[in-house]
């Protein structure tokens, strides 16, 4: 229901803004721009779905090998002490726990192409446990909010963009982004836990948090002891080794368990094709809504309005230049990347605003895209408080990103 209101709001606001521009500014081309944006966004949605088809087919095929060989069950049993605390409604040992772990691991490594198919597989498994097929369950909401909070260890793509834009040290946003995305994820988990009455103060969760803190400390120490170029090279290499290692591990495990890995792969690949087709309508709906919202100039008005209000308080408004990226990232990943690049072009890659736009881009993920695709893949239309919790995580990431950027780069 929330997504319904948000989708309608995109079109209503875009129409009002365009009408005002036509009447008061004499802009006779604005409605042509809006119509063209619907065509372009619809085409982009289909191309994204088409591009996902092969990835979905491949990774769901690999996941099916894991199911048939029992590897997913083994993973879920190994991780059950922690995941069962965060997802108490999922039975212990259920394959969904293994799929959730694989998805979150891929996201943390910045492997978006692998994470989406694994996440859609997890949603299918969670839907099997859902007594009301059109309504989001508690585990679905927790899973998607963790996804939208965008916890990532190494923001490879952002560092790559900074390098292309001529940044002197493309990896200088690494630690600020890592801190910011961790805050966003912790806020998201906390908000969902409060709404679902999940107790986070237990041995398993606290041990995990302690482990994460130790890992982050070691990662920061490594970052400070090697050159920026070496860090970028090794981060990409390690991520790719892990990704290919997972593929080989699943195949070898299947052969060891004497499963027919080829037939299992084909069976899973067929599911991937069907999933890609199912998400097309949902993707078209939201990308078109976002497209007309941007094309009408509503996003610019929103950002300028925030800057004006902040200016009235006497607070430094330098950060306003990074707000387009911060606000767009909840709506569109490619749109946020475009605005991030535009900000670096306008202000300079090594400016405070240029760096801040990169940090807030990595603070969290594309909330509306993820909710539309993931819920759409299983036919869930009543999302309950998933949007609210996701946006709270987003908002905390924006605030943290701005503050931390000032601390590191001002």
Three-state secondary structure readout of 138-174: HHHHHHHHHHHHCCCCCCHHHHHHHHHCCCCCHHHHH
Q: What is the pLDDT of residue 199?
A: 85
In the predicted model, what is the mean pLDDT of residues 127-138? 90
Q: CA 180, CA 160: separation in Å to the nearest integer?
A: 19
Percent of the chain at pLDDT above 70? 87
Whether 139 has a pLDDT exceeding 90, the answer reads yes
Tokens describing residue 371:
């909710």
Q: CA 361, CA 177: separation in Å to the nearest integer?
A: 9
Q: What is the pLDDT of residue 156?
A: 66
Q: What is the pLDDT of residue 252?
A: 93
Three-state secondary structure readout of 63-91: HHHHHHHCHHHHHHHHHHHHHHHHCCCCC
DSSP 272-287: HHHHHHHHHHHHHHHH
> pLDDT digit string (tens) for 73-125?
776 666 677 777 888 888 877 888 888 887 887 777 555 556 778 888 889 99
Q: What is the pLDDT of residue 198?
A: 86
Whether 5 has a pLDDT exceeding 70, the answer reads yes
Q: CA 252, CA 230: separation in Å to the nearest integer?
A: 32
> How many Cα atoms occupy the beta-carbon half-sphere of 296 within 13 Å?
25
Q: What is the pLDDT of residue 113?
A: 59
Q: CA 194, CA 196: separation in Å to the nearest integer?
A: 5
Q: What is the pLDDT of residue 34?
A: 93
In the predicted model, what is the mean pLDDT of residues 236-249? 74
Whether 170 has a pLDDT exceeding 80, the answer reads no
Q: What is the pLDDT of residue 266?
A: 92
- Average of per-residue pLDDT values in the chain: 81
Whether 346 has a pLDDT exceeding 60, the answer reads yes
Q: CA 156, CA 161: separation in Å to the nearest integer?
A: 9
3-class secondary-structure state, position 185:
helix
Whether 152 has a pLDDT exceeding 60, the answer reads yes
> pLDDT digit string (tens) for 16-64?
999 999 999 888 899 999 999 899 888 877 877 777 688 778 877 887 8
In the predicted model, what is the mean pLDDT of residues 219-233? 64
Whether 232 has a pLDDT exceeding 60, the answer reads no
238 or 130, greater pLDDT: 130
Going by the DSSP 8-state scheme, the letter that residue 315 receives in this structure is: -
> pLDDT digit string (tens) for 307-339?
788 778 877 778 888 888 888 787 777 667 767
Tokens describing residue 266:
């084909």
Q: What is the pLDDT of residue 117?
A: 81
Instruction: Tell me the whole-structure pTM to 2 decimals.
Output: 0.74
In the predicted model, what is the mean pLDDT of residues 194-223? 76
370 touches 187 (CB < 8 A): no
Give the confidence band of 250 by pLDDT, cuts at 50, 70, 90: confident
Whether 360 has a pLDDT exceeding 80, the answer reads yes
Whether 71 has a pLDDT exceeding 60, the answer reads yes
In the predicted model, what is the mean pLDDT of residues 132-160? 83
| Sequence-distant (≥ 6) Cβ neighbours of residue 393 within 8 angstroms | 145, 148, 149, 184, 185, 187, 188, 191, 364
Give the confidence band of 126 by pLDDT, cuts at 50, 70, 90: very high
């Amino acid at each position: 229901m929330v997504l319904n209101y948000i989708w309608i709001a995109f079109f209503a606001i875009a129409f009002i803004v365009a009408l005002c521009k036509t009447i008061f500014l004499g802009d006779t081309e604005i409605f042509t721009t809006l119509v063209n944006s619907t065509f372009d966004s619809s085409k982009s949605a289909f191309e994204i779905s088409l591009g996902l088809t092969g990835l979905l087919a491949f990774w769901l095929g690999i996941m099916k090998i894991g199911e048939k060989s029992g590897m997913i069950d083994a993973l879920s049993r190994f991780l059950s002490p922690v995941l069962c605390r965060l997802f108490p409604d999922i039975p212990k040992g259920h394959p969904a726990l293994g799929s959730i772990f694989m998805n979150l691991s891929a996201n943390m490594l910045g492997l978006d192409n692998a994470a989406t198919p694994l996440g859609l597989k997890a949603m299918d498994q969670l839907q099997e446990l859902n007594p009301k097929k059109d309504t989001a369950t508690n585990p679905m909401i927790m899973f998607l909010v963790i996804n939208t909070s965008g916890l990532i260890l190494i923001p490879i793509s952002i560092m790559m963009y900074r390098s292309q834009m001529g940044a002197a040290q493309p990896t200088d946003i690494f630690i600020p982004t890592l801190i910011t995305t961790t805050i966003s994820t912790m806020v998201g988990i906390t908000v969902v836990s409060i709404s679902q009455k999940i107790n986070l103060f237990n041995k398993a969760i606290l041990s995990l948090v302690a482990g994460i803190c130790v890992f982050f400390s070691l990662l920061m120490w490594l970052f400070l002891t090697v050159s920026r170029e070496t860090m970028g090279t090794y981060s990409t290499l390690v991520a790719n080794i892990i990704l290919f290692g997972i593929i080989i591990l699943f195949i070898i495990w299947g052969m060891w368990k004497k499963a027919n890995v080829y037939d299992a792969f084909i069976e899973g690949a067929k599911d991937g094709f069907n999933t890609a087709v199912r998400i097309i309508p949902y993707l078209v709906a939201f990308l078109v809504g976002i497209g007309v919202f941007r094309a009408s100039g509503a996003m610019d008005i929103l950002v300028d309005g925030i800057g004006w209000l902040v200016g009235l308080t006497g607070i430094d408004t330098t950060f306003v230049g990074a707000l387009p990226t911060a606000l767009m990232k909840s709506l569109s990943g490619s749109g946020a990347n475009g605005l991030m690049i535009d900000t670096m072009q306008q202000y300079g890659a090594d400016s405070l605003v240029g760096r801040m736009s990169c940090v807030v881009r990595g603070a969290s993920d594309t909330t509306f895209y993820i909710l539309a695709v993931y819920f759409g893949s299983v036919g869930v239309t009543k999302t309950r408080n998933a949007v609210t919790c996701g946006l709270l995580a987003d908002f905390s990431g924006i605030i943290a990103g701005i503050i931390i950027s000032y601390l590191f780069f001002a």
